[in-house]
Chains A and B, each alone.
Chain A
Amino acid sequence: MNIIKLFISKEFRQFLRDPKMFVVVLIAPVIQLIFLGYAANRDLNFVNTAVYDMDKSGKSRELIRDLEGSGFFKIENIANNYNEVESDLDNAKVLCGIVIPDDFEKKLLSKRTADIQIIFDGSDGNKASIASGYIANILESFSKDVSIAIVDRSGIKISFTGNVTPETRVWYNPNLTTRNFMLPSIVGLILIIITINLTSLAIVKEREVGTLEQLIVTPIRPYQMIIGKLVPFSIMGFVAIILVLSVMRFWFGIEVKGSLGFLFLSSFFFMLSTLGLGLFVSTISRTQQQAMITSAFLVIMPMIFLSGFSFPIESMPQAIQYITYLVPLRYFIIIIRGIVLKGLGFADLWQEVAVLFMMGVFIMLISSLRFKKNLE
């Protein structure tokens, strides 16, 4: 016990002397959070649009006004010819080009179907489909207005039959801001970086400078070394969580709806896996550089991609979906989103928590055995 305490206090002293570590643990998470909070934003607040109005009629102007009035479209350019629309799209000045043909009003008034051309920049499919949804809505109500006006003018009295209007309510994230969805998962990312990356680096560093060799010939036991190394990094992990949650609360106004205790407990289970992985990486790397590259490219990146952090797991091919079951971050993201956004507790999340716990124990066991064997 004494030796472990000695080891932990040694780790903290070394940590405090290393300004780089300080930055990685305390400043980087906050900066990452703030940047991601603004950058991880897939909401489309307005669509830059170029309009080439060949008709220049009352009806065509009415349509343009409706588009602008919707608040979703910002008319960047009233084009004078078709080429201008094209070049605006090419230069990504606008996301959407609208061409109104010169017989637009004539056709409408003669009760025929009037076509307009709408071109999207589909390089970001997500944005284009959101924008096309907006425009479809606006055109629908525009045509409805046109037909009502025509019917009114014709003097025929018709009564509209009842139709279905959806009344949608969005739960948990009423404004549908991506930020609310993304930020809680950052707790997971920060923990990964601190526990996998820093742990493996700290151990490999001892091997590199020769202190590990010295430790091996002392009576210190491998388990004491493992605990002595891992406890400080899990404490740093908790410090980082508190930091991230505070920034989330006081900067972005995202409150933790569920229990903090439960959040910390599941974070601890998650850290069992990631600390174990860090330990494992240290056993297969001889230099800090190797440890850095192995942890970043072979562990952290695949883990993030397969976790559902940025790409929804449901849209992955079936085979890949199976692989995601092996990724601890996948469960942790479900848990942390559940706790922060939905206020879920153990009753709702026990399955994920149980899997995470078992994975953690398993990974930690394997890595510890490997670490021990590696020392000999």
Chain B
Amino acid sequence: MNSIEVSNLTKKFGSFTSVNDISFSVGKGEIFGFLGANGAGKSTTIKMLCGILEPTSGDAMVSGFSISKDPESVKRNIGYMSQKFSLYGDLTVNENLNFFGGIYGLKNERLKERKSWALKISGLENKENTLTSTLSVGYKQRLALGAAVMHEPKIVFLDEPTGGVDPISRRKFWDLIHDISESGTTVFVTTHYLDEAEFCNRIILINAGILIASGSPAELKKEYIDNTVLEITCRETFAVIEKLIPEDFTQSVSAFGNSIHLILKSKFSPQDEELKIIKERIRKLTGDIGEVKIEIIVPSLEDVFLNLLEKRE
């Protein structure tokens, strides 16, 4: 049985359609990435799946309960953690865990046991009596996750959980997400960081309320970018991009920091004569701007999404 089963979910605010007829399912124990730009309808979808916002039409079953008919049961069976740190800063670590554990009905031995588990995973053993507001962001984030899954929900929703966290803490946080998913909890996560999306088992991408792609990271790359991708490292990247756009070999082109990712119109093996010709043409195009490095690369999810979103526009 799937953990989450979304069918034709739609939410309208007046005449504005925030989420437009999306359907997908999430398997048990999966790490499921939910991606989209700001305002694409991510938060609205999460709110509906958590049972706090009623859909205009369509429905979803979350851990076996209908979000429109039985939102209270949904709430009891999920955990939720948002980007905003949502524990009480003026309570100690222990008091926060007591409070949130208690709300989900944990008590006595079980509460004690789950509390020590939460402390362990957040690395806050022996810091139970620290005021939560004094913890560093990385610790706070892990504690919040610990509090969100303390009651062992079947599904945990993480809404941009790593916003504003340094790379090392982000990595530790994702290790934790893996541990949680391995213990059988489904993780539904939204993120802005596409490198994080690579850690997900499956991903969907929504844009303007419409689902535009879904699959595992590898599938997505294969399905949407089967063609060769070149990375061109040079100076004056933006001028070069302008010159590349009108060329007949260009499918799409975008800037990645100091380099350019150019998706070609077909797939070439590295030894292909045609590819060599294209490389030459690029070198000619760029003209007299110093060193130009051209390499074939494996496309990243970012290539996939930029490509997908560009196609839409």
Contact = CB atoms under 8 A, between A and B. Distances in A.
Interface of A: 2-3, 6, 10, 13-14, 17-18, 209-211, 213-220, 375-376
Chain A contact residues, majority secondary structure? helix
B104 interface: yes
Contact of B91 (A3, A13, A210, A376): A13
B80 A219 contact: no
A216 B52 contact: yes
Given A213-B84, A376-B54, 8 more contacts: A3-B103, A13-B95, A17-B90, A209-B84, A214-B80, A216-B52, A218-B103, A219-B76
B88 to A, nearest CB: 6
B72 A219 contact: yes
Contacts of A213: 82, 84, 86
Contact of A18 (B84, B90, B157): B90
B301 interface: no
Interface of B: 50-54, 72, 75-76, 78, 80-82, 84-91, 95, 98-100, 102-105, 131, 157
A210 B53 CA distance: 17
B91 A10 contact: yes
A218 B87 contact: no
17 contacts: A2-B102, A6-B98, A6-B102, A6-B103, A14-B88, A14-B91, A17-B90, A209-B89, A210-B82, A213-B82, A214-B80, A217-B52, A217-B80, A218-B75, A219-B75, A376-B52, A376-B53
A14 B99 CA distance: 12
A155 to B, nearest CB: 91
A217 B90 contact: no
Contacts of B103: 3, 6, 215, 218-220
B246 to A, nearest CB: 48
Contacts of B80: 214, 217-218
B182 to A, nearest CB: 24
Contacts of B99: 6, 10
Contacts of A217: 50-52, 75, 78, 80, 157
Contact of A219 (B84, B87, B104): B104
Most B-side CB within 10 Å, residue of A17, A211, A217, A219: A217
Nearest to A3: B103
A209 to B, nearest CB: 7
A371 to B, nearest CB: 15
A210 B72 contact: no
B90 A210 contact: no
Nearest to B131: A17
B52 A10 contact: no
